[in-house]
């Protein structure tokens, strides 16, 4: 009866095209077909096809070879997807301490399937953990301690105890995985924003004469850390 092939809801993939267009429009530059193709890891002709579909749905305005811009309906849609993405990715990185790349991929799947209620609950859970102050310690910090304790225990069980160091003792060219970040809430948040998170791989690029500053690469980005900051990061 209801042939759901004919119901033109927007598929996950086309929601992603819209998401990327929205992200690009938020930047200064004009939205380019080529950039969309590169971001989606798809050939330019696929982008053209997607643009035509999005135009049909009145989510963007666009003519052949012409500029691409979102309609207000498109912007509304984009905002919804964007918020879901941010919520899920934030949950994965900040609460579960999943590395950015994995979190990105998973969030990009979930964002299309998640209901407003689930989104709200995740936000509330996050808020709950951030505000909850059990015995003087923040709940998220306790959770993350719990994560590292358990990880250590299971590593011990399978007998592969991996030595740990401070990031500050590594030499140029050495690679390591972040195990834990010490320091107060503010500094942890700062590290988080830079993409320094448990499980994230980092490469030490250069170390200044007295070990300060230290230049590292994280997810393709270059970062410069004070020695005092690098001493808060435990790697393995």
Two structure tokens written together for 50:
């997607």
Residue with tokens 């049909």: 56
33 binds, options Mn ion, DNA, its own copies, none, Cβ within 5 to 8 A by partner type: DNA
The 128-147 contact track toward Mn ion, x by CB under 5 A, reads --------------------
Residues between 85 and 144 with contacts to its own copies, criterion CB under 8 A = 92, 95-98, 102, 105-106, 109-110, 113-115, 117-118, 121-122, 124-125, 128, 132, 134-135, 139, 142-143
- Kindly calculate the radius of gyration of the chain based on its CA atoms and give it in whole angstroms: 22
> Of 121 and 206, which has the nearer Cβ to its own copies?
121
Only one of the segments 9-17, 18-26, 118-126, 172-180 lies at the binding site for DNA (rule: CB under 7 A); that segment is 9-17
d(CA 22, CA 77): 9
Among 42, 96, 108, 187, binds Mn ion (CB under 5 A): 108
Helix, strand, or coil here: 86?
helix
The 156-185 contact track toward its own copies, x by CB under 8 A, reads ------------------------------
- 3-state SS, 141-201, equals HHHHHHHHHHHHHHHHHCCCCCCCEEHHHCCCCCEEEEEEECCCHHHHHHHHHCCCCCCCE
> Of 113 and 190, which has the nearer Cβ to Mn ion?
113
Q: Minimal distance in Å, beta carbon 116 to DNA?
A: 23
**Quick check: 28 binds DNA (CB under 7 A)?**
no
Two structure tokens written together for 11:
């598929």
Which residue in 160, 187, 191, 183 sits closest to 97, CA to CA? 191
d(CA 101, CA 218): 11
Q: Minimal distance in Å, beta carbon 145 to its own copies?
A: 10
Q: Minimal distance in Å, beta carbon 35 to DNA?
A: 7
Cβ contacts of 43 within 8 Å, gap of 6 or more: 37
d(CA 39, CA 26): 15
Binding site for its own copies (CB under 8 A): 92, 95-98, 102, 105-106, 109-110, 113-115, 117-118, 121-122, 124-125, 128, 132, 134-135, 139, 142-143, 146-147, 150, 199
Residues that bind DNA (CB under 7 A): 5-6, 8, 11, 13-14, 32-34, 37, 41-53, 62, 64-66
């Amino acid at each position: 009866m209801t042939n759901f092939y004919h119901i033109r809801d927007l598929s996950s993939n086309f929601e992603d095209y819209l998401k990327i267009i929205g992200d690009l429009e938020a930047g200064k530059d004009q939205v380019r077909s080529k950039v969309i193709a590169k971001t989606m890891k798809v050939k330019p002709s696929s982008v053209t096809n997607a643009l035509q579909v999005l135009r049909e749905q009145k989510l963007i305005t666009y003519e052949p070879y012409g500029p691409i811009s979102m309609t207000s309906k498109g912007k509304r849609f984009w905002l919804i997807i964007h918020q879901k993405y941010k919520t899920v990715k934030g949950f994965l990185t900040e609460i579960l301490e999943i590395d950015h790349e994995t979190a990105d991929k998973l969030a990009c799947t979930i964002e299309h399937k998640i209901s407003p209620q689930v989104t709200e609950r995740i936000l509330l859970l996050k808020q709950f953990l951030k505000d909850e102050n059990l015995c003087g310690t923040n709940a998220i910090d306790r959770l993350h301690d719990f994560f590292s304790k358990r990880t250590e225990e299971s590593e011990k069980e399978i007998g592969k105890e991996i030595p740990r160091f401070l990031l500050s003792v590594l030499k140029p060219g050495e690679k390591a995985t972040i195990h834990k970040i010490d320091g107060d809430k503010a500094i942890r948040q700062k590290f988080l924003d830079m993409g320094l998170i448990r499980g994230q791989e980092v490469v030490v690029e250069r170390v200044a004469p007295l070990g300060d500053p230290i230049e590292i690469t994280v997810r393709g980005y270059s970062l410069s850390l004070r020695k005092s900051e690098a001493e808060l990061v435990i790697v393995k």
